[in-house]
Amino acid sequence: MANNLRIAVIGTGRMGTDHIKRLTHRIAGADVTGVVDIDAGRARSAAVLAGDQAKIWDDPHAALASGEYDAFVLTTPGMLHYDVLMDALGRRLPVFCEKPLTADGPTAREIVDAEAEIGRRLIQVGFMRRFDAGYRRLRAFFEDGSLGAPLMLHCRHRNPDPPPNFTDALMIYDSVVHEMDGVRYFTGEEITEISVRRGRTTTGGDGKLSDPQQVLMRTESDVLVDVEIFVNALFGYQVHTEAVFERGIVDIGNDEGAYIRSAGRWGGEVTPGFEQRFAAAFDAEFQGWVNRLRAGAAPDGPSAWDGYAAAVCCEAGVAAQQTGAATAVYLGDKPALYRA
Amino acid sequence: MANNLRIAVIGTGRMGTDHIKRLTHRIAGADVTGVVDIDAGRARSAAVLAGDQAKIWDDPHAALASGEYDAFVLTTPGMLHYDVLMDALGRRLPVFCEKPLTADGPTAREIVDAEAEIGRRLIQVGFMRRFDAGYRRLRAFFEDGSLGAPLMLHCRHRNPDPPPNFTDALMIYDSVVHEMDGVRYFTGEEITEISVRRGRTTTGGDGKLSDPQQVLMRTESDVLVDVEIFVNALFGYQVHTEAVFERGIVDIGNDEGAYIRSAGRWGGEVTPGFEQRFAAAFDAEFQGWVNRLRAGAAPDGPSAWDGYAAAVCCEAGVAAQQTGAATAVYLGDKPALYRA
Amino acid sequence: MANNLRIAVIGTGRMGTDHIKRLTHRIAGADVTGVVDIDAGRARSAAVLAGDQAKIWDDPHAALASGEYDAFVLTTPGMLHYDVLMDALGRRLPVFCEKPLTADGPTAREIVDAEAEIGRRLIQVGFMRRFDAGYRRLRAFFEDGSLGAPLMLHCRHRNPDPPPNFTDALMIYDSVVHEMDGVRYFTGEEITEISVRRGRTTTGGDGKLSDPQQVLMRTESDVLVDVEIFVNALFGYQVHTEAVFERGIVDIGNDEGAYIRSAGRWGGEVTPGFEQRFAAAFDAEFQGWVNRLRAGAAPDGPSAWDGYAAAVCCEAGVAAQQTGAATAVYLGDKPALYRA
Amino acid sequence: MANNLRIAVIGTGRMGTDHIKRLTHRIAGADVTGVVDIDAGRARSAAVLAGDQAKIWDDPHAALASGEYDAFVLTTPGMLHYDVLMDALGRRLPVFCEKPLTADGPTAREIVDAEAEIGRRLIQVGFMRRFDAGYRRLRAFFEDGSLGAPLMLHCRHRNPDPPPNFTDALMIYDSVVHEMDGVRYFTGEEITEISVRRGRTTTGGDGKLSDPQQVLMRTESDVLVDVEIFVNALFGYQVHTEAVFERGIVDIGNDEGAYIRSAGRWGGEVTPGFEQRFAAAFDAEFQGWVNRLRAGAAPDGPSAWDGYAAAVCCEAGVAAQQTGAATAVYLGDKPALYRA
């Protein structure tokens, strides 16, 4: 195998440090040799996590310009992504970009257009669920047609505990965005329409959210989608998807693990959070990305187009929340680079 | 125990003969001593099923007037129910009435008002799911509050094969009506609003139905309900309900029975139809009704009010199918007789 | 249907009163018109349960001789069975006999021989599990050969709480006897050899039992059977059977019912005891027996031979417990009456 | 992090090449820089798999002596292990040794004694199941005592297809050995006694094996163990373990993955083989071993003592197969190095 990939991680918050640990301890063929953060203390801590071999930077553009890195992992807040991605595209440097691609649809579209202009994929967006074994198995049923055409998708996204200052809009941008990407991944179609239903609100939260909500979507071929988004689901984390095909039904995300009968109950332990639920998916996502780059190939995970589509869907979702009306989703032309 | 109840079954089609067999072979304390059908041959066959001790009538009113019966089971088509029920109410005779209560909301309301005027329950409506062990267990969570307030209900109603000449409207009247009653049973609330979403239609049917559809409802306390109604679900029958509470989730109607690993698959056999799925519920429904009447008590199963509410909900559901808009449900005042 | 069967219940302890309630409230076509108990108070209470229409007897032989009953249900302790059964056989009266058939193998053999001499089945023995839907489904795999020949049976029999003064021998006679009958029912073969392994004993019991134990059996065609018998299984009741065939595996008795996610656990509620687990089987057992007798047919449930075989197997099981050695089971010739 | 570990893989058959691919593509911190095989062609192919950076050797002792490697992975047939391990121990070089440790109990004991003499663990044995998430969760119940003391273990080990020329003895050495190690891992106790039951043989095999068999074991504290070993289980692979504790039951290895309802069946797809079932365990096993060595620590996975105990248990198991009698297991003194 070629030498290990030299990677700089830009942003050393929670996601950034998680990825540094992953790349250092669980991913073959990559070394974190650079960390970038304007907070010098945080950057130093991150460098230690990388085995003390990482150079510290406070300016991502300097790191990009240095020539010392084969690839970048971008985990700063979304509003900082645009400049870094544009700089990286200009230098033809590959970037693994955590969602969101950028702060909004129009800037995301600019990234898409810039990459399409280059004519080669450099960006991969961090929709890790696409690397989950269940997601892959379910998608195969959409692709092989063995159960006939898809008709409906029922999605559950339950979180035990939202971050502080969570808002209705963030329920779309942070949580439902994964379901939106899942719908696009499974069906291979774009989402065309979104509406949101609000009902009784749990007393289990802080009272500022309308929680749970139901997000209704429709795809190009009229597959109907309903999403329950519930971010104060006190029993534990759950992501569950049920696909209805003409000749069968497929569920993924069912409860698994050790099965216990005790104290009058049978069953098992609920997965506490997304870190546990998607641990293997995160690893597979990064290993696949590293393997592609080491082999000299372009990344084949979620693309800038996927990030852009998610941004537009989220904006439509928030509009639907606010207006109560079904909201259309318009993406415009899809550049050839992103057609299969 | 008192002597066996003498029962006349009015209508000897599929449901009627099923109930004759049930009452004769599986229910304690009741004898089918009369059968009523305008089709003499069918009536004779039905009398044989009842052990050759049943008198044959062609006019339900004559049977009602005869004084030979303690109770009646009404299984004729719905448009014939009104006259029989009114006659029975006038004579203070108990009737087990298969759904629908009558042909439409206004006549159903007349039945309600007539029974309320009498001030004593005489009618029980055949919503058999309320006697299913799973339904009872789920309702208990709504009643005991152990998981907090209910927030959402996700319902699946999948049939392998619709009757000939099935229509979109019958999807509501014959199938979704059970979900409507279930929502009312679980929550103890009325349904306030209904809308219907149509999407991609299966190629597995005859092409005349929009199948599957999604029916969205809301209850008095704003519990959100979504129902998938799919009547050409080729894999088998399935009725599944998932209730979302503040502190937990409860599912009923999961696949059960022998668990098999063979030919590369694990799992079991899908229940073929509602007769198998709800066999025990039908028996419990009738045994409970017979036991109440033998003990001299009024029936305590689904009431005329429940039948009336179902009629109004169905009419709203069909209107929602036709208009595509959310449709309000108005029931008017609930007589004291039906308040717990 | 013919008139209701007139039944006298002999013995009004727990099983007797359960059966009186069942016959009175849940079984079509039968009336409990007699109760027999030497304890007059208990008999009176039982008569009330039967709806106050049952005549009270203190001597079973007087009831048998009275000519007032079409059939008998025998639920006295086992050592009292022999005389009643012999009397009933002499009078050609049908008896539903709760297990054990008689107090021991030799007297059970006498019953078998007496009935065989008559040449007509009059006795049905109360192995209710044969009427459980799971048991029936599993047996069908043995009969239809769709998964090839059976190779092994793994049985679990877990009780939450043994009766007071339970003994190692009673673990065989009261609990494992059901597994022995199950093995015979599923395979259609006799058991040929039994041994027992004792290991670590739970501290959850009273310390007098060796609990759990493992009972190993072998059938005529060398199907290997292992039974875990655990009578202080504090989490709840469980009867589970796993059959290994050449081309597949079938499990029955898996946990079922409402599925709950709360407080960090997923799953459901363990069935508390055999009354709940086998409620439907008890009903089906009695309804089937009543229907056969009303139709003038001989009973087709577990036979005197099945009761005899169980007695011999239990005796071998207890011997195996005591000696620690594999113990052969000899039944002698099977009369033609009991061959398929 | 320190530099990547330089690893030589000795033996490039199926297991060897699997581990080369794993170390190259999925394990962080290790490079396969040497491959050893007497078959030059096979060695060259293996070197290619390692990314063309691996030096090729035909003599393991030369590789050991070269000073070019930080650690070794030994996957040759078991009879070749003794010499390599002794050489490596002499040089204080760490070896990951696929099972068996050596060809038999006495030579395995020599390895144990040699390593104990050194006083530092250098050898890790490839019992990968200890790194399976289910195995880890089950062991935790043994360790934390939350369900009380363990009483019984029921194990199923079903393979769809044995290798050619498989024998009854290999059923023990290749398959049951994993269950033996599992019993020791879960309970933290040694196995004290083994017996084997043979029964009806499947017609699904080649007729040379007695298949399935039941292996009965006992541990130091009298936990009873039964193992079904079935190597022609045509439906697919399955490893299932059920532990009976005083206050509860825990099952691991239940069927998981996408849940499908189609063609009248519900359920999912059986895992085809151990490669799929234990893929994550293999990765965790190697990543853990690499991380320990890179950190300068001794390996903490299965030890030479575990390999030795497995060898003695297998020999007792084969003796039990041949004699039909319960066979005691004697391990002799356990050196301090291997006591927790």
Which residue ranges make up each domain of chain D? 5-128+280-302, 130-277+310-338
A244 in reach of chain B (CB within 8 A): yes
Whole-angstrom Cα distance, residue D16 to residue D77? 11
Task: Look at residue A2 in the predicted model and tell me its pLDDT.
Answer: 53
DSSP state of A197: E
pTM for the model stands at 0.96
Beta strands C191-198; C71-74: pairing state: unpaired
Structure ipTM: 0.95
Q: Is A214's CB within 8 Å of B152's CB?
A: yes
pLDDT > 70? residue B225: yes
Q: Which helix (H) or strand (E) holds A244?
A: strand A238-245
Task: Look at residue C250 in the predicted model and tell me its pLDDT.
Answer: 98
Distance spanning both ends of chain B, measured CA to CA:
28
Min Cα separation B15/chain A (Å): 29
Min Cα separation D285/chain C (Å): 28
Query: Does residue B22 contact residue B282 with C-beta atoms inside 8 Å?
Result: yes
Whole-angstrom Cα distance, residue B154 to residue B228? 8
Just give the CATH number of A130-277+310-338.
3.30.360.10
Task: Look at residue D260 in the predicted model and tell me its pLDDT.
Answer: 97
Cα→Cα distances A324→A179, A180, A259, Å: 20, 19, 43
Whole-angstrom Cα distance, residue C53 to residue D336? 79
The residues with which A302 forms a beta bridge, in sequence order, are none
Q: Identity (one letter) of the amino acid at C294? A: R
Interface probe with A: pick from C228, C238, C256, C266, most Cβ of A within 10 Å: C266
Q: Is D199's CB within 8 Å of C152's CB?
A: yes
Cα→Cα distances D21→A74, D17, D46, Å: 29, 6, 9
pLDDT tens-digit profile of B261-308? 999 999 999 999 999 999 999 999 999 999 999 999 999 999 999 999
Place of tokens 């001030």: B119
3-state SS, chain B, equals CCCCEEEEEECCCHHHHHHHHHHHHCCCCEEEEEEECCCHHHHHHHHHHCCCCCEEECCHHHHHHCCCCCEEEECCCHHHHHHHHHHHHHHCCCEEECCCCCCCHHHHHHHHHHHHHHCCCCEEECCHHHHCHHHHHHHHHHHHCCCCCEEEEEEEEECCCCCCCCCHHHHHHHHHHHHHHHHHHHHCCCEEEEEEEECCCCCCCCCCCCCCEEEEEEECCCCEEEEEEECCCCCCCEEEEEEEECCEEEEECCCCCCEEEECCEEEEECCCCHHHHCHHHHHHHHHHHHHHHHCCCCCCCCCHHHHHHHHHHHHHHHHHHHHCCCEECCCCCCCHHHCC
Min Cα separation C259/chain B (Å): 5
For residue B134, the chain C residues in CB contact (below 8 A) are: 257-258
For residue A268, the chain C residues in CB contact (below 8 A) are: 265-267
Q: Is C259's CB within 8 Å of B251's CB?
A: yes
Task: Look at residue C53 in the predicted model and tell me its pLDDT.
Answer: 82
Task: Give me B327's structure tokens.
Answer: 């449709």
For residue C256, what is the nearest residue in chain B, using CA coordinates? B256
A251 in reach of chain B (CB within 8 A): no
Measure CB to CB from residue A149 to each of B200, B233, B244 and give the nearest one.
Answer: B200
Task: Look at residue A1 in the predicted model and tell me its pLDDT.
Answer: 46
**How high is the mean pLDDT of chain B?**
96
Mean predicted confidence (pLDDT) in B18-34:
95
Task: Look at residue A53 in the predicted model and tell me its pLDDT.
Answer: 82
* Range D11-23 burial, b when 16+ CB lie within 10 A, else e: bbeebbbebbebb
pLDDT tens-digit profile of A26-84? 999 999 999 999 999 999 999 999 987 899 999 999 999 999 999 999 999 999 999 99
Mean predicted confidence (pLDDT) in A8-18:
96
pLDDT tens-digit profile of A169-214? 999 999 999 999 999 999 999 999 999 999 999 999 988 999 999 9
pLDDT > 70? residue A154: yes
Task: Look at residue D1 in the predicted model and tell me its pLDDT.
Answer: 46
For residue D270, what is the nearest residue in chain C, using CA coordinates? C248
pLDDT > 70 fraction of chain B, expressed in percent and rounded:
99
Q: Is D171 helix (H, G, I), strand (E, B) or coil?
A: helix
pLDDT tens-digit profile of C144-153? 999 999 999 9
pLDDT > 70 fraction of chain A, expressed in percent and rounded:
99
Q: Is A25's CB within 8 Å of D291's CB?
A: yes
Residue A126, Cβ density class (10 Å: 0-12 exposed, 13-18 middle, ≥19 buried): buried
Measure CB to CB from residue D266 to each of B255, B261, B264 and give the nearest one.
Answer: B255
Query: Does residue C198 contact residue D186 with C-beta atoms inside 8 Å?
Result: no
* Range B79-115 burial, b when 16+ CB lie within 10 A, else e: ebbbebbbbbbeeebbbbbbbbbbebbebbbebbebb
3-state SS, chain C, equals CCCCEEEEEECCCHHHHHHHHHHHHCCCCEEEEEEECCCHHHHHHHHHHCCCCCEEECCHHHHHHCCCCCEEEECCCHHHHHHHHHHHHHCCCCEEECCCCCCCHHHHHHHHHHHHHHCCCCEEECCHHHHCHHHHHHHHHHHHCCCCCEEEEEEEEECCCCCCCCCHHHHHHHHHHHHHHHHHHHHCCCEEEEEEEECCCCCCCCCCCCCCEEEEEEECCCCEEEEEEECCCCCCCEEEEEEEECCEEEEECCCCCCEEEECCEEEEECCCCHHHHCHHHHHHHHHHHHHHHHCCCCCCCCCHHHHHHHHHHHHHHHHHHHHCCCEECCCCCCCHHHCC
Angle, alpha carbons B9-B13-B19 (nearest 5°): 45
The residues with which D240 forms a beta bridge, in sequence order, are D156
CA torsion through residues D293, D295, D296, D300, sign: negative
Beta strands B30-36; A150-158: pairing state: unpaired
Residue C300, Cβ density class (10 Å: 0-12 exposed, 13-18 middle, ≥19 buried): exposed
Q: Is D88 helix (H, G, I), strand (E, B) or coil?
A: helix
pLDDT tens-digit profile of B105-133? 999 999 999 999 999 999 999 999 999 99
For residue B236, the chain D residues in CB contact (below 8 A) are: 261, 264
Q: Is C258's CB within 8 Å of B251's CB?
A: yes
Q: Is A140 helix (H, G, I), strand (E, B) or coil?
A: helix
Q: Is A235's CB within 8 Å of C272's CB?
A: no
For residue C236, what is the nearest residue in chain A, using CA coordinates? A264
Angle, alpha carbons B182-B84-B6 (nearest 5°): 85
pLDDT tens-digit profile of A223-274? 999 999 999 999 899 999 999 999 999 999 999 999 999 999 999 999 999 9
Task: Give me A286's structure tokens.
Answer: 């990064």
Task: Look at residue B2 in the predicted model and tell me its pLDDT.
Answer: 53
Residue D217 C-beta-side C-alpha neighbours within 13 Å: 29
How many residue contacts between A and C have a Cβ separation below 8 Å? 54
Task: Look at residue C3 in the predicted model and tell me its pLDDT.
Answer: 79
- The segments of chain D whose pLDDT lies below 50 read 1
The residues with which B327 forms a beta bridge, in sequence order, are B194
Assigned CATH topology for domain B5-128+280-302: Rossmann fold (3.40.50)
**How high is the mean pLDDT of chain A?**
96
C3 in reach of chain B (CB within 8 A): no
**Other chains touching B, judged by 3 or more CB pairs under 8 Å:** A, C, D
